[in-house]
Structure 1
Amino acid sequence: MNRKILLFILGFCLCINNFLNAQSIAGVWQQINKSGHTTTLICTENYLMFAVYKVSDKKLVSSGGGSFEILKADAKTILSYKRDFNTEDSTLVGLTVANIFSIDKKKLTVAQGPLAGTWSRIEEKANPTPLSNALWRLRAKEDKDFKMQTVFKGPFKTIKILSGQYFQWASFNIDTHQFFGTFGGVFSKNKEKYTEKIKFSSNNIKVVGTSFEYDCVLNGKDWIHAGQTSKGERTHEIWEKGY
């Protein structure tokens, strides 16, 4: 291959890589408005979830999530986001919205749409756990007879998104647009123990501010998760990395 062409290709690939790295929104972002509402936005490389909640009265205001991609058009950077669930308006589920955005140091600015506004990046611990920066989907769950039941892939989804130390869980049906619940907060992993501290919950505000510890084993792409629910009931689940 001609040396000039090879250098051009290498240079072009380097520019694309630098652009994607510079525009990556992976991590956790936050907004706090004048009404005292906190909005936490967690992003992996291709999926996001957000929750608006009020710390003072433990109230979840709204939440949403879905897959996204970053596009370049007419020298503008576009965030294209497809809704999987939306607590404010279920008729928007399945629709895609595209908005201009920019990143300047630790600030993410989205021009308009459901993620509009200026977001501040939350600095997280330098050494993430093997669970971190990923989307997980419930693959199997123990029933009342202590038998593991497969959760087949389909329109009904129970997923959990984790950054370095923040998480959000959500359950919904993308075909019927039904929303079954969400909760989230911060997590930690110490050897074979996984702990969640709840900052918001759509179904049970009594758990907000409390912590729950679970046994945690990673086996390939599987995350084996066992302990007790907020109701004191036994839980034993297998989560699979990916969507």
Structure 2
Amino acid sequence: MRNLLLILFFFASTLTYSFGQDLSGAYLAKMNEDNHLILVIDGYITHSIYSDNTYKGTQGGTYKIENNNLVVSYEFDDQSPEKVGETFSLPLEIESNNLLINGFPFQKQSVKKQDLDGLWRITGRKTNDNIQTIQRGNRKTIKILVDGYFQWIAINPAEKGFYGTGGGKYSFKDGNYQENILFFSRDNSRVGATLDFNGKIEKSDWHHSGKSSKGDPIYEIWSREK
């Protein structure tokens, strides 16, 4: 189960799809004790594996659909970093609201569109009341949000570097942003925690403030990744 996206790609020729070329959404499957979560939006795809209390692994990158083929280029793979930079192209079809992987249903989760849905990248952080700009470079922290699920990933694709991830469910309403952690690569004991933050959109940027999972105060600025 460690070659996460490869599981999807290996069996792609067995899949039959019917909801068009837009794969955006959250997909979930249960295989033995493991949960498999796929998040897709804004040309990006992630696939994470976790049990009820243990993080197992993640990988993902950019994707596109060409001539009924799913073409994915890895930006991270914490179990097999040598795959970073590789591109896979295999036949893709869709059936109902499921991804059928070797006959096993990968169920599309309910659509819960929210204003923060999309692919984001951290571009600023407040320290001692001063906003410090985080220059765009090879190393980056991104966050993907779609249909009530989220995942952040700290990576450096140029060096095949992976520095951590976490994810789960989220909600954003009336300036309140809440996360419920389902997996966290750095500390499995954080699973189940609910974190509350303040959130607002200013000039297309997402201003995110509150306390981290460690209880430290944070103020971050996120910009949509293009």
Please classify the TM superposition score into its range, dividing by the shorter chain length. 0.7 to 0.9
Match for residue 151 of structure 2? 168
Match for residue 109 of structure 2? 122
CA distance in 2, matches of 1:205, 1:102: 35
Identity of aligned residues (%): 27
Q: Which runs of 5+ in 2 are unaligned?
A: 1-16
CA contact (8 A) 1:187 1:196 kept: yes
1:33 aligned partner, one-letter code: M
Match for residue 70 of structure 1? 65
Match for residue 116 of structure 2? 131
Matched, 1:107 2:107: no
Match for residue 53 of structure 1? 50
CA distances 1:41-98 after superposition (whole Å, capped 9, x unpaired):
010141111210011xx111110121000010xxxx2100001100111111111111
Matched, 1:156 2:152: no
CA distance in 2, matches of 1:99, 1:26: 18
Selected match of 1:183 from 157, 162, 166: 166
CA distance in 1, matches of 2:56, 2:90: 23
CA distances 1:7-26 after superposition (whole Å, capped 9, x unpaired):
xxxxxxxxxxxx99613211
| Higher RCO (Cα < 8 Å, 6 or more apart) | 2
Q: How many positions carry a matched residue from both structures?
A: 210
CA distances 1:89-135 after superposition (whole Å, capped 9, x unpaired):
11111111112221101112467xxxx9642111133xx22112x10
Selected match of 1:39 from 36, 51, 62: 36
What SS is found at the alignment partner of 1:23?
coil
> How far is the alpha carbon of 1:187 from its aligned partner?
0.4
> How far is the alpha carbon of 1:141 from its aligned partner?
1.2
CA contact (8 A) 1:102 1:110 kept: no
